[in-house]
């Protein structure tokens, strides 16, 4: 039995995966028949680079995807393409109808992905703005505290020499 699955590579805590077609009996990171793409779960959204034609060809030839790979293939529209192609083979719809349905779905999916990216970048910008505003408030509060300390110190300095002069004047009068 042939499987489409992930083979791990990359270092500890920074996993990258190859999407490979392999015999089900071979080990996870071992021997494989063909590499058809890569998967990086650490990016937002996760980066999936697949050769769609090879993946579709292997699916139509009977390769069974693992659960994760099946989700990735569905995300890319390859499972829908397989479903539509089986409908064409059975005569339920024509190739043109299947292609138009697939193109409509791909356009909607691309718009959805783009909105997700925009939303993520906007939330990142909002967080940066909020952080900057918080830092500004803290800096202003510190400046205000320093200014108040300086005023208190200045007032104390003005009062202290006045108090210091009076005893000196009394001592001079006592000497005279």
* CATH code for the domain of 35: 3.30.1320.10
Do 65 and 73 touch, CB atoms closer than 8 A? yes
* The pLDDT of residue 174 is above 70: no
Tokens of 155: 């007032």
Q: Report if residue 150 sits inside a domain.
A: no
Structural domain includes residue 126: no
Confidence of residue 161 (pLDDT cuts 50, 70, 90): low
Q: Is residue 118 part of a domain?
A: no
**Would you say residue 144 lies in a domain?**
no
Domain assignment of residue 27, given as a range: 2-68
164 in any annotated domain: no
H-assigned helices in 37-94:
52-60, 67-76, 78-90
Of residues 33 and 120, more confidence is placed in 33
Looking up tokens 């005569």 gives: 91
Answer yes or no: is 48 within a domain: yes
Number of domains, the chain: 1
> Of all residues in the chain, what percent carry a pLDDT higher than 90?
67
Is position 165 within any domain? Answer: no
Q: Is residue 57 part of a domain?
A: yes
What global pTM score does this model have?
Answer: 0.67
Q: Could you say which DSSP state residue 68 is in?
A: H
Mean pLDDT of 94-119: 91
Cβ-count burial 31-55 (b if 16+ within 10 Å, e if not): ebeeebbbbeeeeeeeebebeeebb
């Amino acid at each position: 039995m042939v499987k489409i699955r992930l083979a791990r590579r990359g270092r500890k805590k920074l996993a990258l995966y190859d999407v490979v077609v392999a015999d089900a009996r071979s080990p996870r990171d071992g021997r494989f028949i063909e590499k058809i793409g890569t998967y990086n779960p650490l990016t937002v959204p996760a980066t999936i680079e697949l050769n769609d034609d090879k993946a579709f060809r292997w699916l139509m030839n009977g390769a069974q995807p693992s659960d994760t790979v099946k989700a990735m293939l569905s995300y890319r529209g390859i499972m829908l393409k397989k479903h539509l192609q089986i409908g064409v083979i059975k005569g339920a719809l024509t190739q043109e109808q299947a292609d138009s349905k697939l193109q409509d779905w791909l356009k909607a999916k691309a718009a959805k992905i783009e909105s997700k990216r925009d939303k993520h970048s906007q939330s990142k910008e909002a967080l940066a703005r909020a952080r900057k505003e918080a830092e500004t408030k803290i800096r202003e509060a510190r400046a205000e505290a320093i200014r108040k300390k300086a005023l208190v110190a200045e007032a104390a300095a003005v009062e202290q020499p006045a108090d210091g002069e009076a005893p000196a004047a009394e001592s001079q009068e006592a000497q005279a």
